[in-house]
């Protein structure tokens, strides 16, 4: 059965899912979740799902000097397993030079209730090559390649390159933010794949007002999508040059789109304190208009919410730069990733250059309160070891368990930036660590029993980036 067919068959269920308020049973409690059901009726149902036992991450050889394809690594994260904290499977991509980066699912909780819908395929793009891989995880421990979309096809049909954020849509389509046009220039756009992973074309009808592209998140009950800006591939792919910031080659705007009309309704310039806004996160509660974006270079966190017909955006956290000998400018924290816990209570973000991961209580989203901090490398001289193994680089990508108790961290940003700021990383490889999170009072602590050393991979040291769980996670699931 094609996904188009089961979408039609599940129209009634979809209508029920779109009723106002979080979906609850007759007793007011979240519905029970079967062991193999990974499309959840509500965020509360996701929280009550079984603990994750596997984790997928991409591992890269681009920029390391190792002439081998990037690969998808399957990690055992079950503490009861004899292979706990080990890579148990590697799926190499067909060609060298992809720079696997962000990836996502063909179906998430936006497809809950649709007959035949299942979280089965990972869409794994190459940021550098533009190649898009479709990976079948029907056997969760041994993913296999299902399909490859070559970059020439994407350019010919949509004039887009540099695929980044992947989200499934409730229509059965997959949408990918693209950072460049066919020549690697801004502003890029949004690519649609149909239910059979064929290139359908562009999502947006008009991108007027957008200079660059990066991440996005949609909130259908409010008819809105938010997107952020990094830079054109021709700029960021060569490393970071401060002169490019002054020349306006990096972004500092976020955009609120009309989800139905596919046009920008409101753009907000974050100004000199909002350079390079990267990851964007709405609350998981589909009735909420609250969300956050981290401005990497300015090292500031911004909160948005809707007031009337417009979105109000305010700076709520600032990480102060630190003077360091040998640096031509004070070292920024460089907020490169953030996420919101499934219950919308906790905000986590990483300071890739300073070297710390932070936890904030956002019960009042306009007034975050710092509740936890863990150091995991960085350039400030606070590098630490875990069980005798050094934490090279700085904390970067984050993924949180659905129950909010385990935060997973990798340390690669992008090949040229890795080589510029952490040149030892290509010889030593990445780490994958896990932090225990207190979900009652707040607080974080490194799990000393968990450390995946990508410096010891069979074909040489590799660099790890984004992570996903087979049962869904806090940065991919959206409710309609």
Question: Among positive and negative, which fits the CA dihedral 297, 214, 408, 455?
Answer: negative
Give the pLDDT confidence score for residue 116 in this predicted structure.
81
Best CATH choice for the domain 3-468 from the list 2.130.10.10, 1.10.287.3510, 1.10.260.40, 3.40.1190.20: 2.130.10.10
Note whether 464 and 455 are within 8 A (CB).
no
Report the alpha-carbon distance of residue 45 to residue 23 in Å, rounded: 9
Q: Of 383 and 291, which is predicted with more confidence? A: 291
Report the alpha-carbon distance of residue 467 to residue 358 in Å, rounded: 18
Helices assigned H by DSSP within 168-327 = 233-236, 242-246
Mean of pLDDT over the chain:
92
Task: Name 106's Cβ contacts closer than 8 Å, sequence gap at least 6.
Answer: 119, 120, 121, 122, 123, 134, 168, 174, 197
How much is the pTM?
Answer: 0.92
Instruction: Work out the burial of residue 120: count CB atoms within 10 Å of its CB; fewer than 13 is exposed, 13-18 middle, 19 or more buried.
Output: middle
Report the alpha-carbon distance of residue 208 to residue 264 in Å, rounded: 7
The pLDDT tens digits for 254-266 are 999 999 999 999 9
Q: Give 37's pLDDT tier (boundaries 50, 70, 90).
A: low
Q: Please give the average per-residue pLDDT across 348-366, as a whole number.
A: 98
């Amino acid at each position: 059965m094609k996904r188009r067919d089961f979408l039609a068959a599940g129209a009634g269920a979809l209508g029920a899912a779109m009723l106002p308020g979080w979906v609850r049973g007759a007793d007011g409690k979240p519905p029970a979740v079967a062991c193999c059901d990974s499309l959840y009726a509500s965020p509360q149902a996701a929280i009550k799902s079984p603990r994750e036992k596997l984790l997928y991450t991409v591992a890269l050889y681009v920029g390391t000097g190792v002439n081998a394809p990037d690969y998808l690594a399957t990690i055992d994260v079950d503490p009861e397993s004899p292979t706990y904290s080990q890579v148990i499977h590697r799926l190499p991509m067909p060609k060298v030079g992809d720079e696997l980066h962000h990836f996502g699912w063909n179906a998430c909780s936006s497809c809950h209730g649709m007959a035949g819908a299942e979280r089965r395929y990972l869409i794994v793009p190459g940021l550098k090559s533009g190649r898009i891989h479709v990976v079948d995880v029907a056997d969760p421990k041994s993913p296999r390649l299902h399909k490859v979309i070559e970059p020439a096809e994407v350019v010919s049909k949509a004039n887009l390159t540099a695929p980044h954020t992947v989200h499934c849509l409730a229509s059965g389509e997959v949408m990918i933010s693209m950072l460049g046009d066919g020549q690697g220039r801004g502003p890029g756009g949004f690519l649609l794949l149909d239910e059979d992973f064929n290139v359908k074309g562009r999502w947006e009808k008009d991108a007027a007002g957008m200079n660059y592209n990066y991440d996005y998140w949609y909130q259908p009950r409010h008819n809105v999508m938010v997107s952020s800006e990094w830079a054109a591939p021709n700029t960021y792919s060569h490393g970071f040059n401060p002169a490019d910031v002054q020349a306006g080659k990096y972004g500092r705007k976020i955009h609120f789109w009309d989800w139905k009309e596919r046009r920008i309704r409101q753009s907000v310039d974050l100004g000199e304190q909002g350079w390079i806004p990267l990851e964007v996160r709405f609350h998981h509660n589909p009735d909420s208009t609250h969300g956050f974006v981290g401005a990497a270079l300015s090292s500031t966190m911004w909160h948005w919410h809707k007031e009337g017909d417009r979105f109000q955006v305010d700076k709520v956290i600032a990480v102060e730069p630190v003077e360091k000998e040998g640096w031509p400018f004070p070292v920024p924290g460089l907020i490169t990733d953030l996420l919101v816990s499934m219950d919308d209570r906790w905000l986590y973000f990483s300071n890739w250059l300073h070297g710390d991961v932070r936890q904030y209580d956002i019960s009042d989203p306009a007034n975050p309160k710092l509740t936890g901090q863990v150091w995991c490398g960085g350039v400030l001289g606070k590098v630490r070891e875990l069980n005798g193994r050094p934490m090279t680089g700085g904390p970067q990508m984050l993924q949180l368990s659905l129950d909010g108790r385990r935060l997973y961290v990798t340390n690669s940003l992008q090949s040229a930036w890795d080589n510029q700021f952490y040149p030892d990383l290509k010889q030593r490889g990445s780490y994958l660590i896990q932090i225990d999170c207190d979900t009652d009072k707040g607080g974080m602590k490194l799990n000393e029993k968990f450390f995946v050393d990508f410096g010891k991979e069979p074909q040489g040291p590799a660099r790890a980036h984004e992570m996903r769980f087979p049962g869904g996670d806090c940065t991919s699931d959206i409710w309609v």
